[in-house]
Amino acid sequence: MKIKISYDNEKQTLEVGRDEMWGFLSLGNSDGMTTTEMERRIQDRFDELFNHPEYNNWHRHSRHTTGTAAPKRLDGKGYVQVSDEASNEPQDNTIDLFPDFTDEENRETQYEYEALCALLRKHLKSDQADLLIEVHINKVPKQEYATRLGITPSAVSHRLETAEKNFKKIFPTSSSFRLSRGL
């Protein structure tokens, strides 16, 4: 039997065994069916499973939209001309076909930072949590933190040692997982 396959926007014909394809596609009992009926059911089922007319229709409309493609006009009459060569911004009446994920990493980092600060403030005294956040997370030098509070740098070092000791009591082991995955 010959079966038609859509591949690379072209129809190709392959010679396959009818009984093998019938079993491969799990079409059930073939008693009382003629060979043409069997071949038609095999081709219909193969089209449904593998030739994907929905995908082919989608591909026909979207195959020219790459990351560098010009935005399409809303009225469907071609592509938009860039309005200003310096800014590289399209004119109005366009559809942006590509999602903007430029700020997603920054948002995720901010969420992690806020969750970690909340976790420290929940389990430690507020001055110890603030000290750990400023010195270890925000990378503020001990001398700068001491001048901000009006104390000596050695006092900051002593308080930092106490805060780290209390932190290790509460969280004895470190985790390589991000905070959003849990402790």
Domain carrying residue 157: 104-181
Spell out the residues 6+ positions from residue 78 whose beta carbon is closer than 8 angstroms to its own: 72
Whether 68 is in a domain gets the answer: no
Q: How far is CA 23 from the centre of its chain?
A: 38
Beta carbons within 8 Å of 74's beta carbon, 6+ residues apart:
93, 94, 95
Residue 165's pLDDT is 93
Residue 167 structure tokens: 């932190």
The pLDDT score that the predictor gives to residue 18 is 84
Q: Is the pTM of this model over 0.85?
A: no
Q: What is the per-residue pLDDT for 183?
A: 45
With respect to residue 139, please indicate whether it lies within any of the assigned structural domains. Answer: yes
Q: Has residue 21 been placed in a domain?
A: yes
pLDDT for the residue 29: 81
In a domain? residue 95: no
Write down the mean pLDDT value for the chain. 77
| Nearest residue to 34 (alpha-carbon basis) of 26, 46, 42, 23 | 42
**Same domain (yes/no): 51, 114:** no
Q: Buried b / exposed e across 168-181, counting CB within 10 Å, b at 16+?
A: eeeeeeeeeeeeee
My answer on whether 119 and 171 are in the same domain is yes
134 inside domain? yes
Read off the tokens for 66: 């790459």
Report the domain count for the chain: 2
Domain of residue 162, CATH code: 1.10.10
The whole-number mean pLDDT for each consecutive block of 10 residues of the chain, a chain of 183 residues, reads: 79 86 81 86 84 60 57 58 54 55 80 90 93 92 93 94 91 65 50
Residue 163 within a domain: yes
Output the pLDDT for position 158.
96
